[in-house]
Amino acid sequence: MSSRTHYWSCSKFADWLRGTPKPSAETSKGWSLWRKKAKSSHPVRYWMADTGLDYIQSFVYWPTDQLYSLKYYINNRWVTRSHSLTAHPRDIKPGSWCDVGHRFLPCLFNELVEFVEIEQAWHHIAWDKEARTKYKAPFYATGWFRWRTWRCPQAGLDYLDWAAGLKMDEEWVSKDDPDWGKPTNQAIAAQEIKRLYLWWTQVRPTRPDAYAESGWTAYCDRRRIGYPDDFMGTEDATDADRVESKTALDSLTEIEQRYEAEDEDMMVRLIKIRGHLWT
C-alpha cells in the first residue's frame, strides 16, 4: 500500500524530463511501443524520469508510507478482516453450530455483498466529487481516512451498471474487428456480478418456504388439532392422513432439491467470476 496520490514518474515534469510524454492509457502493445521509442530517443533522460524519480519519491514518502502500511494492517486485520470469510449474523447466528458444508454459501455470498456495497461503492465515488455529494459519502469513505466501513448498495450497483455498459472501442480493437462494439470482459463480468448480488439479496430471500409451499406445515397443523397428545403418531392416522402426508413429503423433497440445485449453481457461478472480484 502507498500513501501517494500520484507518481512523479507520471507527472508533467517527468514528461518534460523524459522528452517523450507518457500516454494516459494504452494497450499492452501500445505501451511496449512507447517504451521502446522513449528509451531509444533519450535513454538517460528516460531512466531519470521513470526510475530516478521513483527512487527519490520512495525516499521522500518513506515515513508516510510506513504510517499508511500500519493503517491498512489495522484495517485489514480487525476492520475488514481480509484474511477470512465471514457470514452475516442473519445467515449464521453467532454462537450457533453450522456444519462446514453449510457455511460455504452464506460466507461466499456475504463477501460478494461486501464487495458490491463497500468496495464497488467506493470505486464509484473515489475520483468523483459530484458522486460523493450525490451519495452523501462521509469523510471516512475516501482518501487517507478511509476505513472501508462506508456502505452504499446503490453506489455499488450504479458502478456495476457503468461497467456493464463498456464496449470494445478504438482503445481495444480497430473498427473492422469482429469484436468492435461488443461488451468488454469487464462489462460481462459486471453483469454477472450484479445478477449474483441481486439473486442473493432479493431473489433468494423471497423464495417460498419449502415446508409451507409443500403443504407439510398445513398437514402438521391439522394433525396437532386432531391428535393433540400424539400428533405424529401413526396408530390413529387415517388413510387420508397417510396420502396427504406422503404427498406433502414428496413435494417437500422436490422443493428442497430444487433449492439446493439453485444454490449450488449460483455458488459455482460465483467461483467462476472470482477473478473479477477485485478493486
| Model confidence pLDDT, tens digit, residues 215-263 | 999 988 888 876 766 655 555 577 888 888 899 999 999 999 999 999 9
List Cα–Cα distances, 66 to 3, 25, 73, 82, 279, in angstroms: 9, 30, 10, 20, 22
* Residues 189 and 97 reside in one and the same domain: yes
Is there a domain that residue 278 lies in? no
Mean pLDDT of 37-55: 93
| Contacts of 67 by beta carbon, 8 Å cutoff, 6+ apart | 3
Q: Using a CB cutoff of 8 Å and minimum separation of 24, what contacts does 149-152 make? A: 149/79, 149/118, 150/118, 150/121, 150/122, 151/117, 151/118, 151/121, 152/117, 152/121
| Model confidence pLDDT, tens digit, residues 55-107 | 999 999 898 889 878 887 887 788 777 788 888 999 999 888 999 999 999 99
Last residue of a domain, one of 178, 206, 234: 206
Q: Distance of alpha carbon 249 from its chain centroid, rounded?
A: 38
Residue 171 carries which side chain, given as an amino acid letter? E
Is there a domain that residue 75 lies in? yes
pLDDT at 206: 97
Domain span at 263: 207-270
Q: Using a CB cutoff of 8 Å and minimum separation of 24, what contacts does 97-105 make? A: 104/267, 105/263, 105/267
Which of 24-38, 114-128, 129-143 has the lowest average pLDDT? 24-38
Q: Count Cβ atoms below 10 Å from residue 43 Cβ, excluding itself.
A: 10
* Residues 10 and 115 reside in one and the same domain: no
Measured CA to CA, the distance from residue 37 to residue 209 in angstroms comes to: 65
Average pLDDT over all residues of the chain: 90
| Contacts of 71 by beta carbon, 8 Å cutoff, 6+ apart | 144
* Residues 77 and 106 reside in one and the same domain: no
The yes-or-no verdict on residue 5 having pLDDT over 70 is no
Cβ-in-10-Å burial (0-12, 13-18, 19+) of 81 comes to exposed
Q: Count Cβ atoms below 10 Å from residue 142 Cβ, excluding itself.
A: 17
Is there a domain that residue 276 lies in? no
Selected residue with higher pLDDT from 238 and 202: 202
* Residues 183 and 246 reside in one and the same domain: no
Last residue of a domain, one of 84, 101, 116: 84
Q: Taking a C-beta distance cutoff of 8 angstroms, is the pair 214, 255 a contact?
A: yes
The yes-or-no verdict on residue 3 having pLDDT over 60 is no
* Residues 99 and 201 reside in one and the same domain: yes
Tell me how many degrees the CA angle 194-196-201 measures, rounded to the nearest 5.
90
pLDDT at 19: 92
* Residues 22 and 5 reside in one and the same domain: yes
* Residues 154 and 259 reside in one and the same domain: no
Last residue of a domain, one of 206, 232, 253: 206
* Residues 78 and 66 reside in one and the same domain: yes
pLDDT at 1: 43
